[in-house]
Chain A
Amino acid sequence: MSDFPLSDPQFWWVTLLAVAAVVLLIVKRVRQSNDQDQNGSCGGCSTK
């Protein structure tokens, strides 16, 4: 039996942060794919 601590305000804060992280990740990846023709890199590597 699994559960979420819905009454704990800290749970909501960490959930909000996790959602924000996912959104930022998507935005960053989309921007990176636009930049690849310029100074192309996958984002994890150094291109130089």
Chain B
Amino acid sequence: MVSESTDAPLHITLVGNPNVGKSTLFNALVGANSRISNYPGITADSVIGEFFGAQQLRIVTDLPGTYSLELNLPEAQLCHQHLKFDVPPQSEQQNLIIVVIEAVGFPRNFQLLAQLMALGVPMAVVVTKTAEAQLRGYQIQLQALEESLGIPVVEAAEKSAMRTLDVEALIAAARIPTPVHPDQESIEQWSSDLLAKTSLPVRPEQARRRRRRDDRLDRVLVHPIAGSVLFLLAMICMFGSVYWMAQVPMEWIDVAFGTVGGWISTSMEDGPLRGLLVDGVIGGISGTMVFLPQILLLFFLISLLEETGYMARAAFVADRWLRPFGLPGQAFVPLLSSHACAIPGILCTRLIPDRRDRLATILVAPFLSCSARLPVYILMVGILAPTNPLVAGCVFVGCYLLGALVAVGSAGLVRKTLLTGPSLPMVLELPPYRLPSIGDAARIAIDRGWTFLKNAGSVILLICIALWWLSAYPTTPEGPEIEALRVAAEAHSDPGESQRLLDQAQSLHLRESARGSYAGQLGRWIEPVLAPIGADWQLSVAILASFAAREVFVSSLNVMVGVREEEAAASSIARIRASTRDDGSPLLPPAAAGGLLVFYILAMQCLPTLVVTSREAGGIRWALLQLIWMTSVAWILGVVARQWMLAAGFSG
């Protein structure tokens, strides 16, 4: 009915309850990478994408989930607005509504379905989670549902089935349904008839056994104390195994880039272009690529955990810890999203109805460790726990915990001072436990890794090229000490000793050039402020370069140390670890690494997040408060961590 090929695009709107799989379908249709998960509230705003099908442009709008168009909630109002003004039946544009309903909690979908059927727009239905419904002991009769609704119905038994849905056939078969009478009594009668006709029990005894097993597991995993301890242990094991498993591929990547850099150094004549290529370009790319194995493994394991249904339980456990600090239950999803990136986390807060709750969540969301911090964590944890993956796993979990603790502490402070008032509890349906799909988790990990490389990698490369120039110019002429070393080398009769003196002169020259460069001058100017957390002028430049984007830190440091080191072929992590300060002491001794790690866990080094905070909180003053508070807390706790480590006997 709606698939006739015309020049005008077809507008498809995806509507449904929260967490039914709309974003999964959206991603399958347009090949996009919207965030999806197995807990509700991930899509906070309408997301638009497009694709070509049957020689026609299809514009797809993914609306946030809602149980009804008439609720006094932001997501319901957004859906109502879109359906009332953007897809009215009398509009000239071609419209189609695809209603996504889930087989689990089947009757919950009926209220919204009845409201959508009254719009008079061509419709089709996708029923999701039918496999999960069978595990719970009932089956949806698709043929009966299609006949009852008078519109085409297809099923997606699993998330992965979305990719193979015949969407074109669904679009071609879409029809305007016969509306249900709008009064509540008629809707209730229609719902009860529809349920009786379309839902049949299957293997009830097996489903009961499964429910009993899930209940037994929940008694432990959602327990206030046992659940928290198990969550902590699960995280330590996960991060520890990430460290252990990623060691070998990281070495391969590091050695490969070192070899390429060495080959270029020997094939090209010495000069600025070689320096830019080896230290700026190769150094910048390797500083990103080397962390890819750990990032991929981390995303893979998190996806596996999420698919088992465990992460929803972890949300429950975490909610108990959040509420005493004045954060509402609805804050959990934005805060969990912030572990990937603070921006979607902040955008998710639109679903928190109370303004004070929303503001408090926005202000503390960037404290949660996002994936851009991972390279810094990996480098610093590698210095603090170089040989033991279990200790490294504990330190890694400590990084995440510190961010979360400071976030809830700050939220408590804000709710007791600036934004006083009560908070609402969280309501969340726990999915059944199930075996995860390795293939799906691997696909998600590869997708996320590629996004990291594409987005972060390009910015890092550009910043490294600019930073290389700033650290190479202006050049500094050789001073009398270097000239004296060269004269002494020429005069020496022993060729070995002569070469040693020449190398010393060259090394000194590179150091002085780096100190005299623009980056060096800037680093020495800011050094007094950052010295208490353990930074010398080189680290200060890397911190400054990463002020607007924290993922730049390791690559910037790699460029900084590369410019002042003669040995270009050394691998990036090894080169940073072996680098020295002007006084010859290690660049990153343990106490300095600890101080800097704490600083990076807590500092607000992300300009786009500040922009989004300003927009979502409704004023630049909130972004400034966030910047000043986070940077101050990061600096103070960074100093405390370094001093504590110095007192404990670590060098630094």
A42 touches B462 (CB 8 A): no
Which of A13, A38, A47 has most chain B Cβ within 10 Å? Answer: A47
State whether B475 touches A25 (Cβ < 8 A). Answer: no
Determine if B53 is an interface residue (Cβ-Cβ < 8 Å): no
Given contacts A13-B272, A36-B612, A40-B344, whether A47 and B466 have CB atoms under 8 Å apart is no
Indicate if the CB atoms of B606 and A48 lie closer than 8 Å.
no
Q: Which residues of A contact B447 (CB under 8 A)?
A: 48
A42 vs B371: C-alpha distance in the bound complex, in angstroms? 11
The answer to whether B343 and A42 have CB atoms under 8 Å apart is yes
Q: State how many angstroms separate the Cβ of B127 from the closest Cβ of chain A.
A: 24
With A18-B465, A46-B299, A47-B451 as known contacts, state yes or no: A41 contacts B271, CB within 8 Å: no
Q: Which of B344, B449, B461, B606 has the most CB of A within 10 A?
A: B344
CB of B473 within 8 A of CB of A41, answer: no
B48 on the A face (CB < 8 A): yes
Contact indicator per residue, chain B 297-341, by CB within 8 Å of chain A (1) or not (0): 001000000000000000000000000000000000000000011
Chain A: minimal CB distance from B647 (Å)? 34
The chain A residue sitting closest to B516, CB to CB, is: A2
Q: Are A21 and B344 in contact (CB under 8 A)?
A: no
What separation, in Å, do the CA atoms of A37 and B46 have in the docked complex? Answer: 9
Inside 8 A of B451's CB, which chain A residues have their CB?
A: 41, 46-48
Q: Which residues of B contact A5 (CB under 8 A)?
A: 272, 475
Pairwise interchain contact B372-A3, C-beta atoms closer than 8 A: no
Out of A1, A18, A21, A41, name the residue touching B343 (CB < 8 Å): A41
User: In this complex, what residue of A is CB-closest to B342?
Assistant: A42
Question: Is B8's CB within 8 Å of the partner chain A?
Answer: no
Complex Cα–Cα for A47 and B550 (A) = 16
User: Could you say which residues of chain B place their CB within 8 Å of the CB of A43?
Assistant: 455-456, 459, 549, 608
Does A28 lie within 8 Å of B462, measured CB to CB? yes
CB of B474 within 8 A of CB of A2, answer yes
- CB atoms of B370 and A45 under 8 A apart: yes
Residues of A within 8 A of B459 (CB): 25, 28, 43-44
Considering only residues 1-48 of chain A, those with a C-beta below 8 Å from chain B are 1-5, 8, 10-11, 13-15, 17-18, 21-22, 24-25, 28-29, 32-33, 36-48
Assembly CA distance A6 to B465 (angstroms): 19
Interface residues on B, range: 35 or more
Shortest beta-carbon distance from B551 to chain A in Å: 4
Bound state CA distance, A44 and B547, in angstroms? 13
Tell which of B29-37, B71-79, B138-146, B500-508 binds the partner.
B29-37
Report the separation of the CA atoms of residues A8 and B552 in the bound assembly, to the nearest whole angstrom.
30
The verdict on A39 contacting B608 (CB below 8 Å), with A13-B272, A17-B276, A47-B340 known, is no
Asked whether, in the complex, the Cβ of A42 is within 8 Å of the Cβ of B463, the reply is no
Distance, CA A34 to CA B477, complexed state (A): 46
Judge whether B45 and A37 touch: CB under 8 Å: yes
Which single residue of chain A is at the shortest CB-CB distance from B337?
A47
Chain A nearest CB from B627 CB (Å) reads 14
Contacts of A17 in B (CB 8 A): 276, 465, 469
Contact B475 A45 (CB under 8 A): no
Given known contacts A17-B276, A21-B466, A47-B344, A42 and B549 CB-to-CB distance under 8 angstroms: yes
Q: Chain A contacts of B470 at CB under 8 A? A: 18
CB proximity of A15 to chain B, nearest CB, Å: 7
A39→B462 contact, CB < 8 A: no
Q: Indicate if the CB atoms of B33 and A40 lie closer than 8 Å.
A: no
Q: How far is the CB of B446 from chain A (nearest CB, A)?
A: 11
**Docked complex Cα distance between A27 and B459 (Å):** 11
Q: Are B272 and A22 in contact (CB under 8 A)?
A: no
Q: Would A14 and B371 count as touching, CB distance under 8 A?
A: no
B549 nearest in chain A by CB position: A44
Any A CB within 8 A of the CB of B11: no
**Chain A residues, Cβ within 8 Å of B611:** 33, 36
| Pairs across A and B, CB under 8 Å, 23 listed | A5-B272, A8-B271, A10-B273, A14-B273, A14-B275, A18-B469, A21-B463, A25-B462, A33-B611, A39-B34, A40-B341, A40-B343, A42-B370, A42-B608, A44-B452, A44-B455, A44-B459, A45-B371, A46-B452, A47-B33, A47-B340, A47-B341, A48-B451
3 pairs of A and B residues whose beta carbons are closest in the complex: A45-B341, A44-B372, A18-B469
